[in-house]
Amino acid sequence: MPAKSAPSATPQTGVVADKDDLNPVPVPRSEPKLEHRFDIDLMRLICSCAVILGHVAGAFILAVDREESNGPAAYWVGHIADGANAFAVPMFFAMAGWAVLMGAPPRDSARMWTRIIRNGTPLFVWTALYLAWAYLRDRNTDPMSDMAVDAVFGSVRPAYHLWFLYSYIPIIMALGFIVLIRSGRRPWGLGIALLVIAGLPHLLATVGEFTGWSPPPVGWSFGTYSVVYAIGGALLFAHPKRLSRRALWLVAGVMVAAMAGCVWWDTQVHYVIPNAHPFVAVLTLCVLALVSRMHIKESWRPRLTKLSAAAMGAYMVHVFFVEELVKRWVSADSGAVEASVMLVAMVAMTIVLSYGASLLWGKLGARRWLG
């Protein structure tokens, strides 16, 4: 009696068939295990602290009314610190691109909407909190109802730092839409939402023509530069190898030169340097190259992951401490040493308070609402 022949794969069906009975036998497909990137946790932490550094530095620059003659020490300390943080916003776009396109691409529309809600809910909660705080401090220049309506369409003071999310959310929506289409899905809801965002300024302008209403500026959009950072970041973060030690030293030198270029532009041309400027792009590329694929010690990983999870919350709340504490204590009359020490102290204080608050409401289960 002949032995039973071994099963073989049929190219037409992509399954294994038994030659005796030709009954298809499905081949189990295991999902690739997603790699947790501790270096990107570190990058998220670095960028969050860099944003805080930039806003504290801005308090020094504003203390001298952006004029060197009003306080040279505070002016230069502020601008040097501000030039060092210019990579932060582009890097957040780069990490967004990596997450959506490479790190954890959405499998269906529901998961994409979960991401959108996870970022959008803290945006509106914190906008309301900042408006309420400004109202209680009698700092609102317009009626609170008008500012609340404006905030639906774009960032408002005192929540000025939240402008980023009005660009960040649409870009992850667009990238997620492409990923889902490419995987054979039909994300109609996501497509309609993107269409509404694209046409919103013109829709409001049309309504204004018929009603006489002056529509607020619309912040729900993203520029070409943010798309380039997102796609380029996805590509570079996905590179499997870290640079050699010699190359890293070269990159560090270029990074310092790019920071100096940012300071030069801010002080000699125009403050603030655009995120799309070549100096900022080079600086962002250098920081990415220095941190990407960096080995993180096992003992540090739990704490790093915990702090990384608190980064968004720290970003949301830190402006409160900048406005209420830093701006009260920064002096335009300080000398170089005093201004430098004051900057370090103010940055450290703001980071500790911001992360402390974020870790606290994380323990209380409020991360969903407060970031």
Q: Which two tokens stand for residue 211?
A: 């009603």
Look at residue 267 and tell me if it is in a domain: yes
Range of the domain at 343: 39-370
Is the pLDDT at 220 greater than 80, yes or no? yes
The residue with greater pLDDT, 21 or 230, is: 230
- Backbone dihedral region for residue 4 (phi beyond 0: left; psi -120 to 50: alpha; all else: beta): beta
Look at residue 14 and tell me if it is in a domain: no
Percent of the chain past pLDDT 70, that is, above it, reads 91
Look at residue 345 and tell me if it is in a domain: yes
How many domains are there within the chain? 1
Q: Which two tokens stand for residue 4?
A: 């039973």
Q: Where are the alpha helices (DSSP H) in 17-143?
A: 38-63, 72-84, 88-98, 109-136
Question: Which residues neighbour 287 within 8 Å (Cβ) at sequence distance 6 or greater?
Answer: 43, 46, 87, 91, 255
Can you spell out the DSSP letters for 196-244?
Answer: HHHHHHHHHHHHHHHH---PPPP-----HHHHHHHHHHHHHHT-SSPPP
Look at residue 350 and tell me if it is in a domain: yes
Which residue in this structure is represented by tokens 């032995």? 3
pLDDT-derived band at 262, boundaries 50, 70, 90: very high
Look at residue 1 and tell me if it is in a domain: no
Question: Side chain identity at 189, as an amino acid letter?
Answer: G
The reported pLDDT for the residue numbered 137 is: 86
Check if the beta carbon of residue 63 is closer than 8 Å to that of residue 342. Answer: no
Q: Which two tokens stand for residue 188?
A: 């109609």
Look at residue 273 and tell me if it is in a domain: yes
CB atoms within 10 A of CB 213: 10
Q: Which two tokens stand for residue 352?
A: 């500790």
Among 225, 239, 224, which Cα is nearest to 98's? 239
What is the average pLDDT across 19-31?
Answer: 44
What is the average pLDDT across 257-286?
Answer: 97
In terms of C-beta distances under 8 Å and separation of at least 24 residues, what long-range contacts does 144-153 make, across chains too?
Answer: 149/216, 150/216, 150/217, 151/124, 151/127, 153/200, 153/204, 153/215, 153/216, 153/217, 153/218, 153/219, 153/220
Check if the beta carbon of residue 357 is closer than 8 Å to that of residue 317. Answer: yes
Among 315, 305, 327, 302, which Cα is nearest to 353's? 315
Look at residue 25 and tell me if it is in a domain: no
Least confident of 149-153, 317-321, 355-359: 149-153
Measured between alpha carbons, how far is 290 from 145 in angstroms, rounded to an integer? 46
pLDDT-derived band at 33, boundaries 50, 70, 90: low
Is the pTM value of this prediction over 0.85? yes
| Angle of helix 245-268 versus helix 278-291 axis, rounded to 10 | 150
Look at residue 30 and tell me if it is in a domain: no
